[in-house]
Amino acid sequence: MELKEFTEQEVEKIRSNEEQMDREGAIPDELLAIIYDKQLFKLFVPERFGGRRTSLPESVRIFEEASSINGSFGWLVTIGSGGGFFSGNMKKEVLDDVFLPRNAVIAGSGAPTGTAVKCEGGYRVTGQWKYCSGAEFATTFTANAMIEDGAGEEPAMRSFAFTEKQVEILRDWNAFGLKATGSHSIKVENVFVPEERTFSIFESNGVVDDPVFSYPFMPFAQASFTGVLLGLGLRVMEEAEHYLDMLAEESAKKPVLRKVLDEQGDRLEALRSTFYNTIDGNWSLHLEGESGHEQYDEVSEVCAGTAQGVREIVFALYPYLGMYASDRGTPFNRVFRDLLTASQHALIAPY
């Protein structure tokens, strides 16, 4: 894949840290510096906050490229930039505080696994949330909680923006892939959150009106995660090619693996072509105000089909790479584990 966002020197720097990231389970500061310099956590943030105001098709291609370099790096770019989506939802009084710093990035969870009680000036929130990628360097934490009003009515959901000091990070991320994403749980206990730091992900703040903020969140997120999987699929193919190059010319495995690689490579390119044609076409309709439920549902379907196709490609290749594929120290094994972990996300699961 042709590099557009990253230089060859940056790719080399990121990959030179792969073993350390996999071993220590954290992203080095020098790689975070690349993200800050390129404003990658601010792809969807307005320019007044140092953002790039990136369109959905362009951002998905950035997620793919970043993930093809390294899985944890690409996942963090994708998740971190996704928090910028909330600049279109949060109250204008807190936008500068949350989004203006150079290193501003949100970590959090969409699961409503907390409770909130209304009090004077805001809410008292208690809860615990899993899989908050980027927790170790986040400057703001967002989470959903159900409001308990004591009146016996059905509780309503609301989103809360916690400060770093309000949150306890439970370092429990123990997946076998995406090890450097710091996707730990967070916890708050009877924390006061002022009204201005609460919001609804379904309501616009009226401050930001870029087209990306009127795009439905579900296909937006699905397209983002599918971009990650496609990038990991490209890296899988790259590492399989390296294994092929290591085989002796007289090896009987070589022509067989060459054939499988060509077949699966063509399949991956077909998946990418269909995916990007769908995203680009739907985005054009969205800009023209002509995209409805049917068109957005098509994006969701293509994302699910693409994700499943990438999984199948990886498993088609694995048996032909021998024990090299099973050695935890090889680049192929790392990207294999990253891809399987990323593909478990509920929004791109087969069901």
Rounded Cα–Cα distance for residues 314 and 134 (Å): 27
* pLDDT tens digit sequence for 26-52: 999 999 999 999 999 999 999 999 999
Q: What is the mean pLDDT of residues 335-349?
A: 95
**Residue 110 reports pLDDT greater than 60:** yes
Does the reported pTM lie above 0.75? Answer: yes
Predicted local confidence at residue 151, as pLDDT: 60
Rounded Cα–Cα distance for residues 296 and 283 (Å): 10
Q: Which domains are assigned to the chain?
A: 8-89 (1.10.540.10), 104-199 (2.40.110.10), 215-348 (1.20.140.10)
What single-letter DSSP state applies at residue 94? H
- The H or E element spanning position 35 is helix 29-37
Strand 106-108 to 140-148 pairing: parallel
Q: What is the mean pLDDT of residues 207-219?
A: 89
Task: With cut-offs at 50, 70 and 90, classify the pLDDT of residue 20.
Answer: very high
Task: With cut-offs at 50, 70 and 90, classify the pLDDT of residue 96.
Answer: very high
Bridge partners of residue 181, in order along the sequence = none
Rounded Cα–Cα distance for residues 184 and 133 (Å): 7
Predicted local confidence at residue 152, as pLDDT: 56
Predicted local confidence at residue 209, as pLDDT: 80
Residues sharing a CB contact under 8 Å with residue 344, sequence separation 6 or more, in sequence order = none
* pLDDT tens digit sequence for 149-183: 766 566 799 999 999 999 999 999 999 999 999 99
* pLDDT tens digit sequence for 265-279: 999 999 999 999 999
Rounded Cα–Cα distance for residues 183 and 180 (Å): 8
Predicted local confidence at residue 155, as pLDDT: 77
Predicted local confidence at residue 204, as pLDDT: 87
CB 133 within 8 A of CB 76: yes
